[in-house]
Amino acid sequence: MRRENLDHGFSTVAWEKAKAEAMAVLGQRAKRGDPITYSDLVNKITAVRMDPHDTRLAHFLGEISTEEHKAGRPLITALVVHKHDLQPGKGFFDLSRSLGFSFNDEIEFWSDQIDRLRSQWK
């Protein structure tokens, strides 16, 4: 999910620092194609505090993926998964479609993004 000018309740400086923290964690994971759960990711972010079920987390991840997509890179938030099934949430696929990706098989698309991340972050 992404929404322009969202008032997420954090300062712009803290929000951007949190995104940089998340990118550092995700970049390390991308080298191995190693997913991370929503809860583990939010626990590694110190600039802002969010719960794994916080609606702002979807916007946070959406901004990260949108920025990566605009830079011509794979959607790094493909690495963020639910604990119960180790797959990304519906929001990841909705965002992907809103960014112009077209796919019928969500798992195949997700797997392709993971493969592209491994190659990108070697």
Q: Cα–Cα distance between 84 and 17 in angstroms, integer?
A: 29
Q: Cα–Cα distance between 27 and 24 in angstroms, integer?
A: 5
pLDDT reported for residue 8: 77
CA distances from 5 to 8, 70, 96, 121 (A): 9, 18, 20, 30
pLDDT reported for residue 4: 55
> pLDDT per position in the chain (122 positions), as tens?
444 556 678 998 999 999 999 999 999 999 999 999 999 999 999 999 999 999 999 999 999 999 999 999 999 999 999 999 999 999 999 999 999 999 999 999 999 999 999 999 98
